[in-house]
Structure 1
C-alpha cells in the first residue's frame, strides 16, 4: 500500500505539472499552490490517518520497524516533488511503539498474577547460583538467572519482560527512553502490589510462608535488578 501510494502520488503530481507547464496565469509563488497542493495534502493526510488507525493493531516490533522504513522511503521519494512528510511520522510511530511495549508489559503482569494464584508452594530443586551471588554477575549479561526457575511465577514474569524488550529492539526510539522506563517500573510495581495483596489475602502454612518469602526475596534481589539490566 505504501509503495503504491508513493508511486501514484508522485506520478499524478509530475503529470499535472507537465500538462499545465505552459499555464502562466498567477504569480510564480502560487504555482501549484491551489488544486494540486490541496489534493496532495488531502492524500498525505489520509495516508497518515490510515497509519494512525492501523499501527496500534500491529503486535510485532519488527513489523513496526519495517513499516517505518517503508514510510520514510515513501516520504523521501515524494520529497522530489515537494511532498516530504518525514517530519510527521515520528509521533505516530512513537505512540505505536509505546503502546506495544505497554501491552506486552501488561500481559507479563497478568501472566504473573495467574501463575501466582495457581502456584503450589512446594520446595523445588535448587537451580543455578544462590540469590546472594546472582547480583555479582556481569552487568552486561542479560541471560535470565537460572535461579528464577526455583520460583515459576517470577520466571513467567521475566519471560514476559524479555519478550516485551525483544519486541522493542527493532523499533526503539531514544526519545521514548524515559517513558518506556516508567512503563517498566509500572510493571514491577504491579508485581510488588500483587505480592502484597497475596500476602494479605492468603493463609499459608509455615513451610509455605517460607517459600513465599523466598519468592519475594528473589523478586527484590534477582528479578528487579535483571529487569533493570535488560533495559540498560
Structure 2
C-alpha cells in the first residue's frame, strides 16, 4: 500500500447552494482523475453536495465535536456528518486552534470521534510565523503530531495536513526545501509510531495555487494538498487536481 494521492478543498465559511455548480464543473472536466478529490464545504452544504456528487468525489466536514451527541449548541457530531454523506472531517485546523483555542488533546479526541463514526480524520499541524522565525518549527510539529494524532490512527482512517500558519491565505509559500524538511520529519515520526506510518497520506496546505501545485507535488513525501481559497472555483481547483494526477 502506498499513500493515497488526495486533492482536498476546504471551503471554510464560504458557499451557498449556488456554489454547488462548481462541483458540477469539476465532475464534468475531471470525470476520472488520477487522484482522490475531497471537498469540505460548510456544514449546510454537506448533504446537498454529497447527493450531487453521488460518490464521484468525497465530501467532508470542517470540524466535529469529540462527543457523538449532547448539549453542545452550535456543534456538529461526527456521526451527523457521516449521516449527511460525509466520508472525511478536518480536525485541528490552525483557524480552529487559534480562534477557538483548541488544544492538541482536543484535536486527538475529535480524531477518535471521527474514527468511531467511520470518517477519515484530516489532522492539521503547522507553525506560526514567530515559531518559524524562532527556529522552533520541527519541535512544534513534533509536539503537535504526538498530541493530536491518536493511537488508533491508521493509513485508512487518517490523513495528516501540514499547513504553516503564516502561509494560509497570505500568498506566501515556504520554499521547497522547507516543505521537504517538515514532511520528512512527519513521515519519520509516523513510521516510528505506527506500523503503517509509511502509508499515511501527507498533504501540504498554504497558498497552493495552479501556478505552484506541480512544484509542490514534486517534493518528497507530499501526497497531495489541502487547498483553501483556490478550491472555491473549479477554474482554480481543477488545474491543481490535474497537477496531482500527473505527479
TM-score (norm 1): 0.24
TM-score (norm 2): 0.23
| Higher strand proportion | 2
| Higher helix proportion | 1
